[in-house]
Amino acid sequence: MKRSIAALAAACATVLGSAALLVMPQASAAAQGCRVDYTVTNQWQGGFQAGVKVTNLGDAITGWSLRFTFPDAGQKVAQGWNATWSQSGTTATATNVDWNRSLGSGAAVDLGFTGTTTGANPVPASFALNGVTCTGTTGPSPTTTTSTSTTTTTPPAGRTPLAANGQLHVCGVHLCSEANRVIQLRGMSTHGLQWFDGCYNTASLDALANDWHADLLRIAMYVQEQGYETNPPWFTNRVNSLVDEAEKRGMYAVIDFHALTPGDPNYNLDRAKTFFAAVAARNAAKKNVIYEIANEPNGVSWAAIKSYAEQVIPVIRAADPDAVVIVGTRGWSSLGVSDGSNETEIVNNPVNATNIMYTFHFYAASHKDTYRATVSRAATKLPLFVTEFGTVSATGGGALDQSSSTAWLDLLDQLKISYANWTYSDANESSAALRPGTCAGTDYGTGTLTESGALVRSRISTPDDF
């Protein structure tokens, strides 16, 4: 039996330094216990970024509002995500959006915002969720080191993602370590090796592993478009060499059979069998390899994609029975949303194989609340892996959509869904992480990053929850 609201309020009333976390009631539902964790994730002259994790410790609620008070009038919410944000005086309010309005018992929602400040301390003096004072923590992450312009993190020395997690496998709807711990991998995707092979050298991969602290490198091997079909031995060998380079640096490698046109993966069925038989046999003893067998199926039914998967997976399993395999989904790997469908076609007719995950791709400026709502639902029933996402439009161009990108990344963090950003390259497009011309040199520092690259690096470089 749940305790009374009054008893829970008394139990949760905790002062954390100068910040008391307080939550205000909403007429539609009253929370019966909660926790709020507030973290300053980045700080610069005149501004800051904060993350707010709200956990419901009572009965399920539908509809919520979080309210908090800044310590001085100079602090303002500039832009927020995963909620509708407003501010009156020093009091800011975050109200649920459609896709996260329901919070089950034990469920959590991750919010965040960027703000402006004229003071030295951006931590609110009080916090506020549906009428019950919450327990929680405030302040910067204890593992961060703050400079005058940004906040960076350094993982424990010698503890690479591969060393920490070993051979991965699927457990329930999650990706898990060798020790059966649910984990999330975060990293970058290459661009086409036929065009940007020079971007994947010792200096760039060292930067990805040691400066970005990336967990994975997705190796995008195009099949058409001057790709694999033009020279199978060269592309197979290059993929294998990048698997080795990732392994040396303690990163996981996603081998991506990057087919786009035609969209039916069965067009490349024989090529896929030949390629995956070769790379699986060669890399079977490695613990860092994940196989992505169809990048973005399009203009094709789920039944056809499923048939393809059930023919390719046994080829991989014959040589490498333990590795995780990722299966593409309908509508450019949108779980069917871009084709007017949704995840139910997969839930009702899953691939007949074990230790598999399903692909979801998004581009933040083009794919927003409807797509996020689908992922939120699907993640309760299907193991998902975002093997590709962009911070811009689906064309790979256009302006960075920081609000939608951050909302997506917060959601993936909350659901512990692994992801790779498109792309770790110096392509002349706004989705690229590196400025044009970078790969002709040897400098891959923060000064070479595009706006998109800087945003994604700031997220990937935060500590892993391993």
Active site residues: 296, 388
Q: How far apart are CA 266 and CA 246, in angstroms?
A: 30
Nearest residue to 95 via CA among 48, 25, 189, 142:
25
Residue 396 near residue 431 (C-beta atoms within 8 A): yes
- State whether residue 67 is helix, strand or coil: strand
Q: How far apart are CA 115 and CA 92, in angstroms?
A: 11
Residue 429 near residue 192 (C-beta atoms within 8 A): no
Q: How far apart are CA 279 and CA 96, in angstroms?
A: 46
**List of residues 6+ apart from 6 with CB closer than 8 A:** none
**List of residues 6+ apart from 193 with CB closer than 8 A:** 200, 219, 220, 221, 222, 227, 235, 238, 239
For strands 126-127 and 65-69, give the pairing: antiparallel
Quick check: bond before 95 cis, omega within 30?
no
For the chain, the C-alpha Rg in angstroms (whole number) is: 23
Provide the 10 A C-beta neighbour count for residue 178: 12
Structure tokens at 68: 């908090």
**How does 284-322 read in b/e, with b if 16+ C-beta sit within 10 Å?**
eebbbbbbbbbbbbbebebebbbebbeebbebbbebbee
Q: How far apart are CA 18 and CA 2, in angstroms?
A: 30
Structure tokens at 425: 């390259």
Q: How far apart are CA 185 and CA 251, in angstroms?
A: 9
Helix (H) or strand (E) holding 79: strand 76-81
Q: Which residues pair with 388 in a beta bridge?
A: 361
Structure tokens at 243: 């698997």
Structure tokens at 464: 């892993």
Structure tokens at 40: 């300053």
Helix (H) or strand (E) holding 366: none
Q: How many helices (H) and strands (E) does the chain have?
A: 12, 26
